[in-house]
Structure 1
Amino acid sequence: MAAVSAPAVTALAPANPWALVPPLGNLDAYISAVNRLPLLTPEEEQDYARRLKEHNDLDAAGRLVMSHLRLVVSISRQYLGYGLPQGDLIQEGNVGLMKAVKRFDPDQGVRLVSYAMHWIKAEIHEYILKNWRMVKVATTKAQRKLFFNLRSMKQGFKAEALDADAHRESLSEHEIDLVAEQLNVKREEVIEMETRLAGGDVLLDPSPSDDGEQAYGPIAYLSDKAHEPTAMIESRQRDVLATDGIAQALAGLDERSRHIVQERWLKVNDDGSGGMTLHELAAVYGVSAERIRQIEVAAMKKMKKSLAEYA
């Protein structure tokens, strides 16, 4: 029996055209496969686009998408400098391509490649802005324009600069004016975006280093435990016990016990010293210092029980 040869990658004949393209897990194989897929002629593109628009033909949509996968790969290479995996960039670009195919109108008189570029770049831009940094660096239209143009413009300025200025990282005042004029944004916006791009992410709570040493981040000095909810509740409870609670506990003592506790623990003289000693109180009441101590201990136990009930 003659061996059956595998279908050629360049054919767009199978019932399931997606079977021609390997998964993105093997990036080299994926790129090689999509680059071998043939491009559609203008007539074929018009035919598939009309079949999709008029009859919702998903097979036609698949063929339009597949014939432009190489375009997504090509565009994704322009964004490799942001440090994100090319496979992820391609995946997001493919989403933009599918959106373009869905919205493409064959009666507009333009090729799908020209229409799809906007949608592919828009999806890749959004992915980069969401994942390039932990903190989003660009939200307004002007910031987005600066984010995707400032780096290349700075490289152009460096190439034109004299050797003495080649090592300079920041923009000069003249270069800031040029960027603002060319991109039609404010000088302040150029300065702010340059500062954002120059900065890096800092972990609030870094993990310990490989040698076991504790790593300290901003969380160590940014946290304010005084305003932590549990701490605030405990502090408020202490304040209430120190005022109303103690007043109520003292009211439950007899006059002698209350006087002894007040003199021993609650009285502060002008010089910062405390109240009367055991011997001084013993002389006042005509008993021994040991007896004063016993009365004090009993009073403190009674107050402790009263405070616990109050709390």
Structure 2
Amino acid sequence: MTLQMAHSNTALAVANPWAMVPSLGNLDAYISAANRMPMLTLEEEQDFSRKFKNDNDLDAAGKLVLSHLRLVVSIARQYLGYGLPHGDLIQEGNVGLMKAVKRFDPDQGVRLVSYAMHWIKAEIHEYILKNWRMVKVATTKAQRKLFFNLRSMKQRYKSDDAAADAGTHRETLNADQVEAMARELKVKPEEVIEMETRLSGGDVVLDPGPADDGEDSFGPVTYLTDTSHEPIAMIEAHQRDILATDGIATALDSLDPRSRRIVEERWLKVNDDSSGGMTLHDLAAEYGVSAERIRQIEVAAMKKMKASLAQYA
């Protein structure tokens, strides 16, 4: 049955070279099918473009896209060094190709391949910048140009170093190379250094998940969480503020004048030299009683305040 389907698909491809073989299976099969798509002559390209532009002929637009799939595959292969899947790069490039076909004007005197390259690269660039790192490494036009040229230019400088000295292997750019790169790309040397620093910094996993031995592992997400704004923590903090102000005032009002003064002098008063209020002996001398009696009054007052605070809460 499978052999019959294969013969059927082959016959279909021979009969109609524009028919993509169904059930391609994997990326290699897709690339092989894309490379088998017919290439258009100038007359065919202009004819299909005018049909799509003037009559919204989607079949003509499809042929324009299919005939340039190999171009997308070729361009996407140039960006494999960023660690992103080749299939995803091709997919994004295909989006750029379709945008190019939609905007292409056959009367401008250029071939679609020249026009589409810009759109394909732009879409792949956007995908890389969004997915290569969680934090965007390039936002301005100059930074994007620097991002996509820095890697290749560093490789060129490494090759020059190797030719000059086989024992030299430099990972970072020296001052002369930074200056040369800045002049070539028309950016400031500081921008070259900053971009190299961004690219050389490794990604950090925020939440590493459980370790291999089953123990909990801790990543930055563990200590980046702002617990001060959790609802429960905010409610508890609000309650503490109320008890520290209105609650203490209410509890002090429940004491007799002598007990209140003893509590205030012992616990609530701070002098200019950051020392506390009066000592037990100072208060004992003032009221004409023993220091032990002052301590007993203090203990009783604190118990009464504690009961008042509990009732207030």
Q: What does the per-residue CA deviation read over 1:58-82, in whole Å, with 9 as the maximum and x for residues that have no partner?
A: 0000111111111111111100010
Check conservation: 1:246, 1:307, Cα contact below 8 A. no
The TM-score, its normalising length taken from structure 1, stands at: 0.80
Q: 1:307 aligns with which of 295, 309, 312?
A: 312
Query: By how many angstroms is 1:117 displaced?
Result: 0.8
Check conservation: 1:48, 1:61, Cα contact below 8 A. yes
Q: Quick one: structure 1 residues 302 and 254, their matched pair in 2 at CA, closer, same or farther if it must change by over 3 Å?
A: farther
**Residue type of the alignment partner of 2:312:** L
Query: By how many angstroms is 1:295 displaced?
Result: 4.7
Q: Quick one: structure 1 residues 191 and 165, their matched pair in 2 at CA, closer, same or farther if it must change by over 3 Å?
A: farther
Question: Where does 1:147-186 land on structure 2 (aligned, <5 Å)?
Answer: 147-161=147-161, 162-163=164-165, 166-186=168-188
* More deviation, 216-225/102-111: 216-225
Query: By how many angstroms is 1:44 displaced?
Result: 1.3
Query: By how many angstroms is 1:217 displaced?
Result: 3.6
Query: By how many angstroms is 1:20 displaced?
Result: 3.5
Q: Quick one: structure 1 residues 289 and 55, their matched pair in 2 at CA, closer, same or farther if it must change by over 3 Å?
A: closer
Query: Which residue of 1 is the match for residue 72 of structure 2?
Result: 72
Q: 2:213 aligns with which of 189, 194, 211?
A: 211
Structure 1: segments with no counterpart, 5+ residues: none
Query: Which residue of 1 is the match for residue 123 of structure 2?
Result: 123
Check conservation: 1:92, 1:127, Cα contact below 8 A. yes
**How many percent of aligned residue pairs carry the same amino acid?**
65
Q: 2 CA distance for matches of 1:44 and 1:12?
A: 19
Query: By how many angstroms is 1:216 displaced?
Result: 3.8
Q: Quick one: structure 1 residues 140 and 291, their matched pair in 2 at CA, closer, same or farther if it must change by over 3 Å?
A: closer
Question: Where does 1:36-55 land on structure 2 (aligned, <5 Å)?
Answer: 36-55=36-55
Query: Which residue of 1 is the match for residue 86 of structure 2?
Result: 86
**Residue type of the alignment partner of 1:299:** K
Query: Which residue of 1 is the match for residue 249 of structure 2?
Result: 247
Count the aligned residue pairs.
Answer: 300
Q: Quick one: structure 1 residues 259 and 272, their matched pair in 2 at CA, closer, same or farther if it must change by over 3 Å?
A: closer
Q: 1 CA distance for matches of 2:98 and 2:220?
A: 43
**Residue type of the alignment partner of 2:199:** L
Structure 2: segments with no counterpart, 5+ residues: none
**Residue type of the alignment partner of 1:209:** A
The TM-score, its normalising length taken from structure 2, stands at: 0.80
Q: Quick one: structure 1 residues 47 and 257, their matched pair in 2 at CA, closer, same or farther if it must change by over 3 Å?
A: same
Check conservation: 1:267, 1:275, Cα contact below 8 A. no
Q: 2 CA distance for matches of 1:290 and 1:37?
A: 98
